[in-house]
Amino acid sequence: MFELIGIPPQALFGQLLLGLINGAFYAMLSLGLAVIFGLLNVINFTHGAQYMMGAFAAWLLLTVLGIPFWAALVLAPIIVGFTGVLIERLLLRRIYHLDHLYGFLLTFGLALIIEGVFRWKWGSSGQPYDNPIPGGVNLGFMFLPYYRGWVVIASLVICLATWYAIERTRLGAYLRAATENPTLVRAFGINVPRMITLTYAFGVGLAALAGVLAAPIQQVSALMGTNLVLVVFAVVVIGGMGSIMGSILTGFGLGLIEGLTKVAYPPASNIVIFVVMALVLLVKPAGLFGRTK
Amino acid sequence: MADPLLKVSGLNAWYGESHILHGVDFEVGKGELVTLLGRNGAGKTTTLKAIMGIVGKRTGQIRFEGQELAGSTSDIIARAGIAYCPEERGIFSSLNVEENLMLPPVVKPGGVTVEEIYTLFPNLLERRRSQGTKLSGGEQQMLAIGRILRTGASMLLLDEPTEGLAPVIVQRIGEVIRQLKTRGFTVLLVEQNFRFAATIADRHYIVEDGRVVDMVVAADVERSIDKLHDYLGV
């Protein structure tokens, strides 16, 4: 079997696939964060907890109600998105006029509370979730599990559909305009407060959808979003706060860089994204795709 | 005036702790073109913003087509049929010209079609794929006026549409406002440029220190010119 720069292709492509799958989750989560930050100006630190809630919702739907994965894929984001409506209406709405720091502290506190409640109720150890598409295919240079391939394709479709909706539709134009001047958009007859609520719910729903997709790959546990959210914040900063396409491209790109680092120099794989973040901030403080105001 | 389209009574408005309007009273009849004239800081722009519900706090009465709007939010006021073109034009940089034009939703039937808007402002058609804020000042003003014509609103609030524009553009905007009046639009215009306002308006209200202090009909402008110069400091 041939080798690429001294690395067996099975190892290289295996890690690249893992990187792509991680990138898919980074992209979906950072996309939700970017959408929320763009319109609400809130750094939603609850995002990791909401990703975990999506996975738990799918697990509970299956174990308690017997609802299978494919139905949970639709139901769980709606359920968790509805909790987003409550959070926005009852809490976030009160702090929009304050500094970013208050939004950050509020959502950080909420994340701790949500994760604490789930850990108290179901413990820290992971709950298994059956793979809905078992098996895989041998591509010659690597073995591709069907489910993992499906996750990459599904997240790409979701990300591109979200980008299209925001950049190419009338509803997206309302969102982009409200990001710039919500007062004027409202004076045109658009119910901006309701749009803000629904945007937050959509971002939260995206996080939950990523959680459902992650459930069969990872163990469903109360802390599954804690570490991930730090990486996702780095992705958003590198892509440019509020940039939709920046989040998607950076999410997948950094997943691949992380995968390659695991092959080339495994000890650096946990920090490579943060090194990239530091370098990007030095050269382009607004991020690769962000616009300076 | 038998039955005004817009009747503003005892309108007070605040920005934070600052009390800006101190009981503004005026009315605008259907199909009229009325201006609010006054010096800088008199409260003209704040009057328009208070009608639209985009000041910090307001009290008083704002009756439009018999409906009380003083307690309503700005989206409801817009949907009642009042369209607002702000002084700073409010062109969105993240939207191209066509997206800016199509942004305000249609609130009532009978608005100007996109084709008619492009006929009124041919520059917008040529530059419809350009970023909104890349247009010249005059083109941005045309876009800001054009986009509120689509909505079907019967009353237009225009805040200083000629500010900072070249004379030839001011003339064009004057022509368009006259055409809008002949189409049946009711216009409330805030202007600093008295020469411009005098050529198109039916009546002028003079605003001083957050109150309407006088009213001059178009036919009396010549006779009242000294008084108007005193009010406006020109």
DSSP string for residues in A195-236 = HHHHHHHHHHHHHHHHHHHHTTTS-B-TTTTHHHHHHHHHHH
C-alpha closest to that of A237 among A34, A44, A96: A34
Radius of gyration of chain B (CA): 17
Residues 6+ apart with CB under 8 A from A42: A36, A92, A95, A96, A100, A103, A104, A107
User: What's the pLDDT tens digit per position in A177-190?
Assistant: 999 999 999 999 99
At A247, which helix (H) or strand (E)?
helix A244-264
**pLDDT averages per 10-residue partition of chain B, 234 residues:** 87 95 97 94 96 95 96 96 96 95 94 93 94 94 95 96 91 93 95 89 96 95 89 78
> How many pairs of residues across A and B have Cβ atoms under 8 Å apart?
56
A218 or A9, which is more confident?
A218
Q: What is the mean pLDDT of residues A164-188?
A: 94
Band the pLDDT of A293: cuts 50, 70, 90. low
Q: Is B187 left (phi over 0), alpha (psi -120 to 50) or beta?
A: beta
Cβ contact, residue pair A173, B79, below 8 Å? no
Does B77 sit within 8 Å of A180, measured CB to CB? no
- ipTM for the assembly: 0.94
In this complex, which of B54, B90, B105 lies closest to A190 when CB atoms are compared? B105
Domains of chain B: 6-90+147-232 (3.40.50.300)
Mean pLDDT of A161-166: 95
For residue B89, what is the DSSP state? -
Residue A292: its pLDDT value, please?
62
**8 Å CB contact of B75 and A191:** yes
How does residue A40 score in pLDDT terms, banded at 50, 70 and 90? confident
Residues of B in contact with A166 (CB under 8 A): none
pLDDT at A2 over 60: no
DSSP, collapsed to helix, strand or coil, labels residue B212 as strand
Q: Which tokens hold the place of B154? A: 């019967």
pLDDT tens by residue, A217-256? 999 999 999 989 999 999 999 998 878 899 999 999 999 9
Q: What is the pLDDT of residue A124?
A: 87
Residue B76: CB atoms within 10 Å = 15
Interface test with chain A among B74, B89, B100, B133, by most A beta carbons within 10 Å: B74
pLDDT value of position B192: 86
SS3 A35: helix
Cα separations (Å) of A144 from A2, A59, B157?
A: 19, 25, 62
Question: Mean per-residue pLDDT for A96-112?
Answer: 93
What is the Cα B169 distance to its own chain's centre? 17
pLDDT level of residue A5 (50, 70, 90 thresholds): low
pLDDT higher than threshold 70 for residue A141: yes
The whole-number pLDDT of residue B174 equals 93
Distance in Å, alpha carbon of B146 to nearest chain A alpha carbon? 13
User: Does A186 touch chain B if contact means CB atoms closer than 8 Å?
Assistant: yes
| Contact call for B74 and A187, based on CB within 8 A | yes
CB contact under 8 A, B77 and A187: yes
Chain B residue with CA closest to A243: the answer is B94
Per-residue pLDDT band at A105 (split at 50, 70, 90): very high
**Helix or strand (DSSP H, E) at A177:** helix A170-180
- Helices A9-40 and A47-65: crossing angle in degrees, nearest 10, is 110
Q: What is the mean pLDDT of chain A?
A: 92
The pLDDT score that the predictor gives to residue A4 is 61
> Alpha-carbon distance B208 to B216, whole Å?
14
Q: φ and ψ at B205, to 5 degrees? A: -100, 140
**Nearest CA of chain A to the CA of B225: how many Å?**
36
- Angle at the Cα of A80 (from A77 to A84), degrees rounded to 5? 120
* Three-state secondary structure call for residue B158: strand
Question: For residue A19, which of A216, A235, A211 has the smallest C-alpha distance?
Answer: A235
Confidence category of residue A41, pLDDT binned at 50, 70, 90: confident
- A242: which chain B residues are within 8 Å (Cβ-Cβ)? none
